[in-house]
């Protein structure tokens, strides 16, 4: 397959090269931010599973350089309406881009002071202005102190677990394992990576902080949503326009981190499927009132339906609480369709990728194949 056929098949791949993004994923984060104002009031950010670095590029350009990638006034109004429906934005917060004065808009575009961004991946990330990059495994306990020291060189590891070790406003994770094509296996491995990201986020997030992570929507994903609701006031599933509709990929957007009383996060004793997290979920269920336990649909004040579904099991058996999170498609829905092929203009020139991988896992295989074909000549 030639470069230009991929340009034709994937408009966001082409657009990413034209706009200087290292990967098409940049558009997913931009579209999530458009919908949820992720970067509002944020100065400490951790980007997990960040290579080759397009999400970090977005962070660098928006937070450090103060660039604004905007939606139109109309899209802004629509997004605010949805945010009010979901209770993310107060009902009386009516101001839209169109209502703001030029001065107010300029003010928002200023680079923020004292921004710290740390990006982590198993793969090396080529340098980015203002961003600290770490080559580390997000599932390893040693990564948390490493990350906290990168955010603050004076951080004392003895302070781990105290309030001082929770300085982060936003944790992002676009983590994905190498996809095998075996649907259930891919979903399982992805969920393990998601739990690793969540555990790390619980160790470093400030109360009120936000967590955004990639998920693959599988059979039991609503159990995961119920688990996330233990820690965050709002949990929403979002599908950006630039994420292919044909893929199971989506993003959970968790807003307002509120750890339960007495909860202490630790990567030494991580939460995962089963064990401590299941216990916490049962405790939360036990604290609910009878009315809440009627199940069915809980309609929030703003009229948005959040559903709790109970599996139909005999009285003497435990019921499995699942919680159906609100789902939002985001990004300009009249923009490119990521599943469509587009006719390219005749004079179209296909560009090279902005940042080819520095040390991809397949590099050694290519070298061995080249050596082999050389020796056979």
173 forms beta bridges with: 48, 213
Q: Which stretch binds ligand SAM (CB under 6 A): 51-59, 236-244, 262-270, 341-349?
A: 51-59
131 binding ligand SAM? (CB under 6 A):
no
Q: Which position among 43, 84, 123, 320 is part of the footprint of ligand SAM (CB under 6 A)?
A: 123
SS3 141: coil
Q: Which position among 7, 8, 17, 25 is part of the footprint of ligand SAM (CB under 6 A)?
A: 25
Catalytic residue chosen out of the listed positions 214, 229, 234, 239:
214
Rounded Cα distance, 142 and 140, in Å: 6
CB of 193 to ligand SAM, least distance (A): 6
Residue span 183-202 as binding mask against ligand SAM, x where in contact by CB under 6 A, dash where not: ----------x---------
51 binding ligand SAM? (CB under 6 A):
yes
Q: Which position among 46, 79, 138, 200 is part of the footprint of ligand SAM (CB under 6 A)?
A: 138
> Has 121 been labeled as part of a binding site?
yes
Question: Active site includes 214?
Answer: yes
Q: Which position among 7, 10, 97, 121 is part of the footprint of ligand SAM (CB under 6 A)?
A: 121
Rounded Cα distance, 69 and 47, in Å: 19
Q: Which stretch binds ligand SAM (CB under 6 A): 17-25, 36-44, 146-154, 157-165?
A: 17-25
The angle subtended at Cα 249 by Cα 243 and Cα 252, nearest 5°, is 100
Count the residues of the shown chain that bind ligand SAM, applying the rule CB under 6 A: 22
176 binding ligand SAM? (CB under 6 A):
yes
142 binding ligand SAM? (CB under 6 A):
no
Q: Which stretch binds ligand SAM (CB under 6 A): 118-126, 162-170, 271-279, 306-314?
A: 118-126
Exposure on the CB side of residue 230, measured as CA atoms within 13 A: 26
240 binding ligand SAM? (CB under 6 A):
no
> Has 53 been labeled as part of a binding site?
yes
DSSP notation for 247-294: SSEEEEEEEEE-PPTT----SSS---SSTHHHHHHHHHHHTS-HHHHT
Q: Which position among 157, 161, 177, 260 is part of the footprint of ligand SAM (CB under 6 A)?
A: 177
Q: Which position among 73, 98, 122, 305 is part of the footprint of ligand SAM (CB under 6 A)?
A: 122
Tokens of 28: 């997913």
Contact call for residues 244 and 30 (beta carbons, < 8 A): no
> Has 178 been labeled as part of a binding site?
no
- The helix (H) or strand (E) run that includes residue 173 is strand 168-173
Q: Which position among 18, 99, 137, 233 is part of the footprint of ligand SAM (CB under 6 A)?
A: 137
> Has 76 been labeled as part of a binding site?
no
Q: How far is CA 280 from CA 197, 203, 268, 298, 312, in A?
A: 19, 17, 18, 21, 22
Contact call for residues 339 and 245 (beta carbons, < 8 A): yes
CB of 133 to ligand SAM, least distance (A): 12
Q: Which position among 31, 54, 83, 165 is part of the footprint of ligand SAM (CB under 6 A)?
A: 54
Q: What is the strand order of the sheet 205-216 is part of?
A: 131-135, 116-121, 44-48, 168-173, 205-216, 249-257, 232-240, 327-330
Phi, psi of 344 (to 5 degrees): -90, 150
Residue with smaller CB distance to ligand SAM, 56 or 227:
56
CB of 191 to ligand SAM, least distance (A): 13
52 binding ligand SAM? (CB under 6 A):
yes
Nearest to 191 by CA among 120, 248, 254, 273: 273
Contact call for residues 210 and 257 (beta carbons, < 8 A): yes
Q: Which stretch binds ligand SAM (CB under 6 A): 20-28, 73-81, 84-92, 342-350?
A: 20-28
Helices 25-36 and 73-85, packing angle to 10 deg: 70
Peptide linkage before 148 cis (omega within 30 of 0): no
> Has 55 been labeled as part of a binding site?
yes
- Which residues in this chain contact ligand SAM in the complex, by CB under 6 A? 22-23, 25, 49-55, 120-123, 137-139, 174-177, 193
Which residues line the annotated binding site?
A: 53, 55, 121, 137, 174
Which residues line the annotated binding site for S-adenosyl-L-methionine?
A: 53, 55, 121, 137, 174
Q: Which residues are catalytic?
A: 214
């Amino acid at each position: 397959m030639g470069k230009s056929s991929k340009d034709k098949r994937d408009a966001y791949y082409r657009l990413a090269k034209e706009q200087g993004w290292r990967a098409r994923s940049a558009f997913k984060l931009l579209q999530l931010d458009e919908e949820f104002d992720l970067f509002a009031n944020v100065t400490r950010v951790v980007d997990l599973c960040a290579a080759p670095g397009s999400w970090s590029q977005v962070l660098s350009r928006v937070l450090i350089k103060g660039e604004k990638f905007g939606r139109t006034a109309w899209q802004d109004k629509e997004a605010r309406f949805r945010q009010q429906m979901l209770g993310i934005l107060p009902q009386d917060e009516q101001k839209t881009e169109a209502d703001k004065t030029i001065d107010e808009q300029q003010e928002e575009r200023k680079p923020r002071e004292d921004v710290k961004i740390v990006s982590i991946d198993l793969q090396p990330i080529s340098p980015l202005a203002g961003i600290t990059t770490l080559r580390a495994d997000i599932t390893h306990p040693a990564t948390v102190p490493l990350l906290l020291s990168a955010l603050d060189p004076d951080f004392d590891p003895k302070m781990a677990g105290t309030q001082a070790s929770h300085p982060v406003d936003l944790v992002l994770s676009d983590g994905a394992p190498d996809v095998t094509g075996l649907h259930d296996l891919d979903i399982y491995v992805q969920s393990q990576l998601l739990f690793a990201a969540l555990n790390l986020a619980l160790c470093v997030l400030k109360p009120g902080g936000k967590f955004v992570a990639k998920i693959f929507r599988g059979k039991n994903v609503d159990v995961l949503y119920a688990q996330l609701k233990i820690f965050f006031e709002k949990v929403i599933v979002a599908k950006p326009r630039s994420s292919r509709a044909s893929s199971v990929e989506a993003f959970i957007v968790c807003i307002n981190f509120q750890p339960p009383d007495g909860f202490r996060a630790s990567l030494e004793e991580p939460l995962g499927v089963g064990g401590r997290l299941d216990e916490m979920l049962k405790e939360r269920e036990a604290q609910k009132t009878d009315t809440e336990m009627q199940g069915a649909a809980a309609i929030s004040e703003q009229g948005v339906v959040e559903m709790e579904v109970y599996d139909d099991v005999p009285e003497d058996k435990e019921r499995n609480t699942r919680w159906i999170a609100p789902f939002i498609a985001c990004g300009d829905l009249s923009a490119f369709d990521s599943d469509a092929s587009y006719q390219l203009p005749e004079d179209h020139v296909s560009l090279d990728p902005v940042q080819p991988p520095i040390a991809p896992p397949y590099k050694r295989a290519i070298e061995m194949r080249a050596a082999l074909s050389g020796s056979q000549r």
